[in-house]
């Protein structure tokens, strides 16, 4: 429980509430829902019911109040229920960084799951039990807390397991994406099966912008091998060029397959990531 409270403190839960309110305002100004997943549908008017304390005041029918002098709520029934699958990279490389990459990765997954549940949908980790109902959000947090970032399983293997079954309607993938680009092939196969993919790349600040600091040893977390290098200016510049090329290649793949794609560092503000990067990229929020 203490570990869960450290990952998802009360301030984080309040941040999710504020994020939902901000998204509601954006949807209202846009006039339409902002999700792009194939499970989205138009809301259909179902009828009225008497107002009860705690109900959403935005659904009050003031015309009915003017005629009858009583408060009634308008009820709508969506044509489709949204189902959102969360795939979090649990390789050892996600445990590095300051703060560790897996902290933001889990919070991003929690935010997507929270929003899906509040819209009346279901969500869960890839290969796990789906959670339904906003009141059961705590179960999703338990699933995310239980993840261990010490394995050798690749993102490719996890995506292959998903592709072998009925593909999810909406898939959010949170990873450092430091694997070879060919390992994204299973995600591309899911796209061809009409799965809406959102790819969030989380990197440590010093992975995005390393600073020269003399001699150092690089530890290959996935391979368990150590390499001694000198971090001079030319080495740093070569690294930055390769990282830029890698991120641009990821973006090209995302554009080709219609994915929403954003890259962020592990110290980023969640609200800015969700509203400032993922919405412009077309993420299913």
Name the pTM for this structure: 0.79
Q: Which helix (H) or strand (E) holds 138?
A: helix 137-145
pLDDT higher than threshold 50 for residue 38: no
> If you average pLDDT over every residue of the chain, what do you get?
84
Reported confidence tier of residue 59, pLDDT bands at 50, 70, 90 = confident
Highest mean pLDDT among 38-42, 163-167, 180-184: 180-184
Do strands 260-265 and 196-203 pair parallel, antiparallel, or not at all (unpaired)? parallel
pLDDT higher than threshold 60 for residue 194: yes
The total domain count for the chain is: 2
Reported confidence tier of residue 81, pLDDT bands at 50, 70, 90 = low
pLDDT of residue 209: 87
pLDDT of residue 8: 96
Reported confidence tier of residue 113, pLDDT bands at 50, 70, 90 = very high
pLDDT of residue 47: 73
Q: State the residue range of the domain holding 48.
A: 42-79
Indicate whether 64 belongs to any domain: yes
Reported confidence tier of residue 76, pLDDT bands at 50, 70, 90 = low
pLDDT of residue 41: 44
Of 79, 104, 125, the residue at which a domain comes to its end is: 79
CATH code for the domain in which residue 157 is found: 3.40.50.410
pLDDT of residue 67: 77
Task: For residues 135-163, give the mean pLDDT.
Answer: 88
Contact present, 256 and 8 (Cβ < 8 Å)? no
Query: How far is Cα 72 from Cα 56, in angstroms, rounded to an integer?
Result: 11
Pick the more confident residue, 14 or 152: 14
Reported confidence tier of residue 215, pLDDT bands at 50, 70, 90 = low
pLDDT higher than threshold 50 for residue 135: yes
pLDDT of residue 114: 96
pLDDT higher than threshold 70 for residue 79: no
113 and 167 together in one domain: yes
pLDDT higher than threshold 80 for residue 129: yes
Query: How far is Cα 173 from Cα 168, in angstroms, rounded to an integer?
Result: 12
54 and 124 together in one domain: no
pLDDT higher than threshold 80 for residue 197: yes
256 and 135 together in one domain: yes
Query: How far is Cα 137 from Cα 124, in angstroms, rounded to an integer?
Result: 10
Indicate whether 265 belongs to any domain: yes
Indicate whether 34 belongs to any domain: no
Range with lowest mean pLDDT among 21-30, 77-86, 103-112 = 77-86
Contact present, 153 and 90 (Cβ < 8 Å)? yes
Of 33, 63, 79, the residue at which a domain comes to its end is: 79
Indicate whether 23 belongs to any domain: no
Contact present, 46 and 75 (Cβ < 8 Å)? yes
pLDDT of residue 273: 97
Query: How far is Cα 111 from Cα 107, in angstroms, rounded to an integer?
Result: 6
In tens, the pLDDT along 83-99 reads 999 999 999 899 999 99
3-class SS of residue 151:
strand
* CA-closest candidate to residue 144, choices 209, 87, 220: 87
In tens, the pLDDT along 231-248 reads 678 888 888 999 999 999
pLDDT of residue 29: 58
Task: For residues 136-152, give the mean pLDDT.
Answer: 91
125, two tokens = 């980790």
120 and 196 together in one domain: yes
153 and 49 together in one domain: no
Range with lowest mean pLDDT among 38-42, 88-92, 197-201, 252-256 = 38-42
């Amino acid at each position: 429980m203490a570990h869960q409270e450290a990952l998802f403190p009360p301030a984080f839960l309040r941040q999710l509430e504020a994020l939902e309110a901000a998204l509601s305002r954006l949807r209202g100004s846009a006039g339409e829902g902002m999700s792009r997943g194939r499970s989205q549908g138009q809301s259909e008017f179902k009828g009225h019911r008497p107002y009860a304390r705690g109900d959403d005041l935005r659904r009050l029918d003031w015309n009915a109040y003017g005629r009858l002098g009583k408060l009634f709520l308008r009820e709508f029934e969506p044509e489709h229920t949204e189902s959102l699958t969360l795939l979090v990279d649990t390789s050892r490389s996600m445990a590095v960084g300051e703060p560790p990459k897996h902290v933001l990765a889990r919070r991003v997954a929690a935010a997507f799951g929270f929003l899906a549940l509040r819209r009346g949908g279901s969500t869960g980790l890839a290969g796990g039990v789906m959670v339904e109902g906003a009141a059961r959000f705590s179960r999703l947090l338990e699933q995310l807390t239980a993840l261990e970032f010490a394995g050798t399983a690749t993102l490719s293997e996890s995506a292959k397991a998903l592709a072998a079954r009925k593909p999810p309607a909406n898939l959010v993938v949170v990873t450092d994406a430091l694997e070879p680009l060919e390992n994204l092939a299973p995600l591309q196969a899911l796209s061809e099966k009409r799965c809406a993919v959102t790819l969030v790349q989380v990197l440590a600040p010093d992975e995005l912008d390393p600073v020269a600091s003399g001699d150092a040893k690089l530890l290959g977390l996935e391979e368990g091998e150590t390499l001694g290098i000198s971090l001079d200016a030319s080495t740093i510049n070569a690294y930055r060029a390769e990282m830029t090329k890698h991120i641009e290649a990821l973006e090209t793949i995302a554009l080709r397959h219609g994915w929403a794609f954003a890259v962020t560092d592990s110290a980023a503000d969640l609200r800015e990531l969700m509203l400032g990067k993922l919405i412009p990229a077309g993420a299913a929020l």
